[in-house]
Structure 1
Amino acid sequence: MNSLRTVFGVIIVLFFIALPAKALSEGTPLKVAIAGDAPPYVIDGASGGLEVDIVRQALPGYDVEFVQMGFAQTAPALEQGKVQAAVNVMKKNDHLFYSGNMISFSNYAIAKASDEMKVSRIADLKGKKVITWQGAPMDLGMEFEKMFGPNGTQRQNLILAPTARDLVAQFWKMKGVVAVVDMALFKFYSQKMGHTMTQVDLFKIFPLTTDFRVGFRDQKVRDDFNRGLANLCNSGRYRELLRKYDVEQREDVCQ
Structure 2
Amino acid sequence: MSAQSFCRRLLLVLCCCSSASWGADVLMAFGEKIPPYCFPESDSGIELEVIGEALALRGHRLKPRYYPLARVPLAFRHGEVDAAMTDLGQDLTDQGGHYGEPAVIYQNVLVTLRNRQLNLQRPEDLKGLSVVAFQGAAKRYPEWLGATQAAGLYFEQNNQELQVLGLNKGRYDVVLSDRSIYHYFEQLLSRTALFKAKAVDMHSFTEEDPQNYRPVFRDAQVRDDFNAGLQQLKKSGRYQQIYDSYLKP
Fold conserved between structures, TM > 0.5 = yes
Out of 8, 33, 46, the position equivalent to 2:29 is 33
Query: Could you tell me how far apart the structure 1 residues matched to 2:162 and 2:171 are?
Result: 15
TM-score by length of 1: 0.78
Give the whole-Å Cα distance in 1 for the aligned partners of 2:197 and 2:207.
21
Q: Is the 8 A contact 1:111 1:179 kept in 2?
A: yes
1:228 is displaced (CA, Å) by 0.8
Of 46, 49, 62 in structure 2, the residue corresponding to residue 53 of structure 1 is 49
Q: Which runs of 4+ in 1 moved over 6 A?
A: 195-198
Distance 1:231 1:197 in 2: 39
Equivalent pairs, count: 217
Deviations 1:49-103 (A, max 9, x none): 0001011101011222111001111011111111000112246122311101221
Q: Hey, what does 2:205 align to over in structure 1?
A: 205
Deviation at 1:174, TM superposition (A): 2.7
**TM-score under structure 2 length normalisation:** 0.80
RMSD: 2.2
Deviations 1:112-137 (A, max 9, x none): 11223222223211210000011001
Which segment is superposed worse, 73-82 or 206-215?
206-215
* SS of 2:150 mapped into structure 1: coil
Provide the secondary structure at the position in 2 that maps to 1:120.
Answer: coil
Structure 1: unaligned runs, 5 residues or longer: 1-26, 248-255
Matches within 5 A, 1:12-91: 27-45=23-41, 47-60=43-56, 61-89=59-87, 90=89
The one of 160, 165, 168 aligned to 1:164: 160
Are 1:214 and 2:215 matched, yes or no?
Answer: yes
Q: Residue type of the partner of 1:203?
A: H
**Contact 1:190–1:196 (CA under 8 A) maintained in structure 2:** no
Residue segments in structure 2 that go unaligned for 5+ positions in a row: 1-22
Percent identity of equivalent pairs: 25
CA distance in structure 2 between the aligned counterparts of 1:40 and 1:231, rounded to whole angstroms: 22
